[in-house]
Amino acid sequence: MWKSPREGWHPARSHQGWKKYDTHSPPVPATLTVQCCEEGTVPQDMRDASIVTLYKNKGDRSDCNNYVGISLLSIVGKAVARVLLKRLQLLADKVYPEAQCGFRAGRSTVDMVFSLRQLQEKCHEQQQPLYMAFIDLTKAFDLVSRKGLFILLQKIGCPPKLLRLIISFHEDMQGTVQYDCQMSDPFPIKNGVKQGCVLAPTLFWHLLPLLLPYAFRESVDGIILHTRSDGSLYNLARLRAKTKVRKVLIREMLFADNAALTGHSETALQRLVDCFAHACAEFGLTISIKKTECLDRMWAISRSSNLATQHSKL
């Protein structure tokens, strides 16, 4: 999507030719980027987006839920967004929860897959029951409250100039839909982050430092592990030294825009799902009942499971 501009803008490669016209002055994108950063605002063309739909390669093609909307932005706007992202990531590394590995430098959702696999193996070794709920959020990027997001960024210490630029990127935004070589009339977009913009994932996951503590503020459910970070990994005798062993609560694991919740019983897992669903509703997010799955250890929970959310069985 870096090289795909919205209608009316030239592709990214054409902007590389600007350098040869005047070797004594900075290229046009650099000039506009500096100007936007100094003024704390961006032109309307950088805010607007042309939306195209992409099939997810699964499910019925006639079902709109099996498509994702991607925002095509101006090339210069993408360059400015990339500059803002570098500054925003410095803040993100300070506030991201430990359970967040997606969209994070030096980490990957593969790390969480490995951790979840290890959790399953340890519970099996200790003959402890393990219940898990894999929660999918419906149109997560599109339903974020911008007003709430900007307030949160201010509370966690986002620099004022950076915050003004992020707000300017989203306020008074107009969108058009491209379909079958035709363009719709412009319409205002007041919610969500731009899926297709490099800022979108990082902005979305800034909700987590507030959402998770709010969701589980009174919860003690989860999986408790006893561990030590020194000595041989396979020397279990080290765990007998009670003063050197620390307890770690494994309750949530975050995979990009999805989450996994863990508990030792179906009742405990139900409490976690209820807390998470309530917090999501307060933040304007919705759990997808159709795509949310529950597991008992390595096997799917039987049809007699009573796990539910939003008055619907999972």
Domain segments of the chain: what residues? 12-313
Cβ-contact 96, 208 below 8 angstroms: yes
What is the pLDDT, as a whole number, of residue 301?
52
Q: Is pLDDT above 90 for 294?
A: no
User: Phi and psi dihedrals of 244, rounded to 5?
Assistant: -105, -5
What is the pLDDT, as a whole number, of residue 191?
87
Is residue 136 classed as helix, strand or coil in its secondary structure? strand
What pLDDT band is residue 29 in, cutting at 50, 70 and 90?
A: low
What pLDDT band is residue 2 in, cutting at 50, 70 and 90?
A: very low
Return the higher-pLDDT residue of 113 and 10.
113
| Three-state secondary structure of 169-238 | HHCCCEEEEEECCEECCCEECCCCCCECECHHHHHHHHHHHHHHHHHCCCCCCCEEEEECCCCCCCCHHH
Q: Looking at this protein, which amino acid is placed at residue 77?
A: G
Q: Is pLDDT above 70 for 10?
A: no
What is the pLDDT, as a whole number, of residue 167?
92
What is the pLDDT, as a whole number, of residue 261?
93
What's the full length of the chain, in residues?
314
What is the pLDDT, as a whole number, of residue 110?
87
What is the pLDDT, as a whole number, of residue 164?
92
Kindly state the tokens that stand for 42. 């961006």
What mean pLDDT is reported for the chain?
80
**pTM of the entire structure?**
0.77
Mean pLDDT across 24-37: 68
What is the pLDDT, as a whole number, of residue 233?
64
Task: Give the span between the Cα atoms of 196 and 202, in whole angstroms.
Answer: 12
What is the pLDDT, as a whole number, of residue 137?
87
Q: What is the pLDDT of residues 179-238, one digit of tens each?
A: 877 888 999 998 888 888 889 888 888 887 788 888 898 888 999 888 777 766 666 677
What is the pLDDT, as a whole number, of residue 234?
65
- Smallest CA-to-CA distance from 192 within 278, 283, 95 is with 283
Cβ within 8 Å of residue 56, ≥6 positions away: 66, 67, 68
What is the pLDDT, as a whole number, of residue 18?
45
Q: Is pLDDT above 90 for 94?
A: no
212-229 burial code (b ≥16 CB/10 A, e <16): beebbeebebbbebeeee
Task: Give the span between the Cα atoms of 9 and 7, in whole angstroms.
Answer: 6
Cβ within 8 Å of residue 161, ≥6 positions away: 37, 40
Q: Which of 51-65, 81-95, 157-171 is most confident?
A: 157-171
CA 182 to chain centre: 31
Mean pLDDT across 262-273: 91
- Smallest CA-to-CA distance from 135 within 292, 310, 294 is with 292
Pure H helices in the chain: 12-15, 28-39, 44-47, 75-95, 109-125, 146-155, 160-170, 199-204, 208-215, 266-282
What is the pLDDT, as a whole number, of residue 306?
67
What pLDDT band is residue 256 in, cutting at 50, 70 and 90?
A: confident
Kindly state the tokens that stand for 154. 């201010």
Is residue 259 classed as helix, strand or coil in its secondary structure? strand
Mean pLDDT across 8-15: 51
Q: What is the pLDDT of residues 122-177, one digit of tens each?
A: 888 888 889 999 998 888 888 888 888 898 888 888 889 899 999 998 988 999 99
What pLDDT band is residue 5 in, cutting at 50, 70 and 90?
A: low
What is the pLDDT, as a whole number, of residue 3?
55
